[in-house]
Structure 1
Amino acid sequence: MTSVFMSALAGAARPVIMELKPRSASGEDLFRGRSPAEIVARYEAAGAPCLSVVTGRWFGGDTALLAEVAARTRLPLLQKDFITSTGQLRAAAGLGASAVLLTAALLPGVALARLAERALALGLTPFIEVATAAEARALPPCEEYVVAVNNRDIRNRERGGADTGRSRRLLPAVRATGSRCPVSAGGIDDPREAAALLSAGYAALLVGTGLLRADALESWCGELDGLRGGPPAPRPAG
């Protein structure tokens, strides 16, 4: 059965998971005085199908941010953190998450498969992040999982530049996992790059820093729509 999170992405006119991340890896304040409520409202107005909430301390997040966002929106939420235990999965579900990040580079194959199964049992979509073809090949069958390519390097706490070419190189390996929702994540600042990745075959994108830095989110989204052949269809009222 398709999850709420994956259904929202599959039905999105603009399949961009928009992220709340308090600060960048270099320590830059990305909220810039805006409250989580303001950012959520901005993303909802931009037609976000899902939101990502960074709770990792590296980026200034915590679980209180996830709880606040969940109280402000009915959109499906991804919790982004280094999740390694069933207890964290239960906590994510209790806080209102619909999906959870599982990082292949940090979890042995057996542990990752076990956590993914437990996430599904709790109603959470496993959002499995890979950075190499070998990591993708080692995944269990992923029809019910999102498989995302991280364009940044977690080994240096994502402080270096992004390599969106990684997403292009790994797309065949990601497709081979059986995931119905391949995602390119991180370092997608330019609408032209976003459009190119969707055209290449990604079902959705995860964009955080680029949107939080954008002075005019509407312009960023409008440029993406134009590059993809026109504006999305109007969203139903309510």
Structure 2
Amino acid sequence: MTILQKILDHKATLIPSLLAKEPTFEVEHKSRPSLYETLRKADALQVISEMKRASPSKGIINEGANPVELAKRYEQAGAACISVLTEEKFFMGSYQDLVAIANNVDIPILNKDFIVHEVQIDYAKAAGASVILLIVAALSDELLKAFYTYASVLGLDVLVEVHNEEELDRALAIHPKIIGVNNRDLKTFDLDLIQTEKLANKINAHEDIVFISESGIWNARDAERVAIAGARGVLVGESLMVSQNVEQALFSLQVPLPSLVKDVK
């Protein structure tokens, strides 16, 4: 059984408790910029900075991280969006982290979780998220389309995550605005930025789609590599969570977009 399947099986056991009560959080619902438009109009690689205490592949990354303090530093350093893990068992995340961050920053907020039921989208919205993640590998075509439509009706941006060409074709069938290419192999959890490069041309052929590269981005060289492939943003977790200078690390990833990236201004 893959790590992804273990997470999905566990997540499914939690759905009844979510359905049993309305999502109520003490959160200030702010009007945030559109992540899609931010990526579309960018002239430098945009950084989606992640609040991530742990992961199945790395174990504990930064258990004692203060979500509000970290989120404010991300925002001040020019992050385009903050990704907040709400998966508890494998990533030590929580909706409380999401609420706390939502109440203290004004930029877009991505609820990073493993969505298997639309009630999770309700919880994401109620906790202050402006963006959700849909993982193609975790969903049937029917659920992928249904969840994408449901989130869009709620006014949420949707990051549709793919890992290979087959998943990309499935994603393109629902005409998403934002695609995330995850450089991590879901079976081995190995990382290779070549995944971004392999899928870039097919994504770049769609003028109305922007894409980001996820996982394995550690430095300016990595950022430049995916920017050359056509990415307009990167989702970065571990390298920022362990950095001794978050601001400098984040700034180093905001490399200029090369001229070969399609101009969509």
CA deviation after TM superposition for structure 1 residue 178, in Å: 5.8
Per mean C-alpha deviation after superposition, the further-off stretch among 6-15 and 47-56 is 6-15
How many residue pairs match? The answer is 223
**Distance in structure 2 (CA, Å) of the matches to 1:189 and 1:112:** 30
State TM-score, norm by structure 2: 0.77
Partner of 2:14: none
Partner Cα separation in structure 2 for residue 5 and residue 221 of structure 1: 18
TM-score (norm 1): 0.85
Amino acid in the other structure paired with 2:185 = D
1:228 matched to 2:259 = no
- Aligned partner of residue 83 in structure 1, secondary structure: coil
**Any idea what the Cα deviations from partners look like across 1:154-202, whole Å, max 9, x if unmatched?**
335xxx3311111101112333566521111011112211122112211
Alpha-carbon separation, structure 2, partners of 1:31 and 1:128: 27
Provide the identity percentage. Answer: 31
Mapping 1:192-231, distance limit 5 Å = 192-225=221-254, 228=256
Distance 1:130 1:144 in 2: 12
Which structure 2 segments of 5+ residues have no match?
1-32, 258-265
Partner of 1:188: 217
Measured after TM superposition, the shift of residue 203 of structure 1 is: 1.4
2:80 counterpart letter in structure 1: P
Code of the aligned partner of 2:249: W
Q: CA deviation at 1:143?
A: 5.0
Say which structure, 1 or 2, has more relative contact order (CA 8 Å, 6+ apart): 2
Runs of 5+ consecutive residues of structure 1 not aligned to the other structure: 230-238
Q: Is the 8 A contact 1:104 1:130 kept in 2?
A: yes
Deviation at 1:131, TM superposition (A): 0.6
Q: Does 1:128 align with 2:160?
A: yes
Aligned-pair CA distance for 1:29: 3.3
Deviations along 1:22-74, whole A, 9 cap, x unmatched?
11334543335331111112101211111111112311112221111111111
Pick closer, same or farther for the CA change 1:69–1:181 going to 2, 3 Å: same
Partner letter of residue 64 of structure 2?
Answer: G
Over 3 Å counting, the alpha-carbon distance change for 1:153 and 1:50 in structure 2 is same
Change in 2 beyond 3 A, CA 1:161/1:74:
same
